[in-house]
């Protein structure tokens, strides 16, 4: 603990993942660190790599299912990397900035392109890494470039170099997104606010219970939520985990669900889809294991 604090001053111990993830599931993280600068982050990563201590960069935890037991590695939160700068039609945003704040900043500056992402939870770093999207929008459409910590150096990757795919990107294992540049277009603030409210309206049917959003990736033109609805998965429950009654593609925590409850339910869904429809589902969410 003292050694980690030498490299990162802000450290918390034994933090529950129920307070770190949107689905409110999981055991405890032995250490949660909050680097305040690029140099502090570099020094922390160098120390962890040297000591072969595993670590995981966690944003808002809106697509991460944490383990039930204690995670003995180090959780890194980039909450302090939340700067926002605007120049003409470009916005530079820190990885720890929430998407909500980025969108609000864009609309305040009469810049269009991000309002379609309204309501998507998470941070800039996480959204860029997984190429988050909804309603025919994805981050790849507006990302100009990304600053990444790679092997003790900050490198700048242009959009094409990020190798964006459907809910995926080509960042290397070990890459840590520091910030991103967004190329937007001029817009009328009133019209942007109007469109934002329309997008919020489209999301009203989403479940109110804690969740990680859509569990499975869309593939081969198949809308997974529609498929699961047709297969009568809504309301199917394993322990405290249930397939949402509002959206069949989302698993919610209706009680004191465990990570294993969610995994069992996911495996049940995948098995039935394979056996009955010959479809292999792929998870969109991330798993943080011990």
Q: Decide which of 59, 76, 93 is a domain's last residue.
A: 76
198 and 121: one domain? yes
Runs of H (alpha helix) within 63-112: 99-108
Please compute, for residue 193, the number of CA atoms within 13 A of its CA located in the half-sphere on the CB side: 7
Dist CA 126 CA 131 (whole Å): 8
Q: Decide which of 202, 230, 257 is a domain's last residue.
A: 202
Query: Domain containing 222 — which CATH number?
Result: 3.90.78.10
Q: Is 214 a catalytic residue?
A: yes
136 and 223: one domain? no
User: Which domain, by its residues, includes 157?
Assistant: 84-202
Query: Domain containing 190 — which CATH number?
Result: 3.30.465.10
248 and 138: one domain? no
Catalytic pick among 118, 214, 244, 259: 214
Catalytic pick among 62, 138, 167, 244: 167
Please classify residue 208 by burial: count the beta carbons closer than 10 Å to its beta carbon, then call 0-12 exposed, 13-18 middle and 19+ buried.
Answer: exposed
193 and 88: one domain? yes
Query: What is the chain's pLDDT, residue by residue, as a tens digit (290 residues)?
Result: 568 989 999 999 999 999 999 999 999 999 999 999 999 999 999 999 999 999 999 999 999 999 999 998 999 999 999 999 999 999 999 999 999 999 999 999 999 999 999 999 999 999 999 999 987 899 999 999 999 999 989 999 999 999 999 999 999 999 999 999 999 999 999 999 999 999 988 877 778 899 999 999 987 888 999 999 999 999 999 999 999 999 999 999 998 999 999 999 999 999 999 999 999 999 999 999 98
Q: Is 284 a catalytic residue?
A: yes
96 and 188: one domain? yes
172 and 108: one domain? yes
pTM of the model: 0.93
Catalytic pick among 115, 116, 138, 284: 284
Q: Decide which of 146, 178, 202 is a domain's last residue.
A: 202
Q: What is the pLDDT of residue 94?
A: 98
Dist CA 241 CA 224 (whole Å): 18
The number of folded domains in the chain is 3
249: left (phi over 0), alpha (psi -120 to 50) or beta: alpha
Dist CA 99 CA 60 (whole Å): 10
């Amino acid at each position: 603990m003292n050694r980690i604090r030498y490299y990162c001053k802000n450290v918390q111990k034994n933090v529950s993942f129920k307070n770190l993830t949107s689905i409110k599931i999981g055991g405890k993280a032995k250490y949660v660190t909050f680097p305040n600068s690029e140099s502090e982050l570099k020094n922390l990563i160098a120390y962890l790599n040297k000591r072969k201590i595993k670590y995981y960069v966690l944003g808002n935890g809106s697509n991460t299912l944490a383990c039930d037991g204690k995670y003995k590695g180090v959780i890194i939160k980039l909450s302090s990397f939340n700067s926002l700068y605007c120049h003409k039609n470009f916005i530079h945003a820190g990885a720890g900035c929430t998407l909500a704040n980025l969108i609000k900043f864009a609309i305040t500056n009469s810049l269009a392109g991000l309002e379609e992402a309204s309501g998507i939870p998470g941070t800039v770093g996480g959204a860029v890494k997984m190429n988050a999207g909804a309603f025919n929008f994805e981050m790849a459409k507006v990302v100009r470039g990304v600053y990444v910590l790679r092997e003790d150096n900050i490198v700048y990757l242009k959009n094409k170099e990020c190798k964006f795919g459907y809910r995926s990107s080509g960042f290397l294992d070990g890459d840590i997104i520091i910030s991103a540049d967004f190329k937007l277009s001029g817009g009328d603030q009133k019209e942007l606010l109007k469109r934002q409210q329309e997008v919020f309206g489209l999301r009203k049917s989403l479940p109110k219970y804690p969740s990680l959003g859509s569990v499975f990736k869309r593939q081969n033109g198949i809308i997974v939520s529609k498929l699961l609805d047709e297969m009568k998965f809504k309301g199917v429950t394993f322990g405290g985990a249930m397939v949402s009654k509002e959206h069949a593609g989302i698993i919610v925590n209706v009680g004191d669900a465990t990570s294993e409850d969610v995994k069992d339910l996911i495996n049940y869904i995948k098995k039935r889809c394979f056996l009955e429809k010959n479809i292999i589902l792929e998870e969109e969410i991330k798993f943080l294991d011990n």
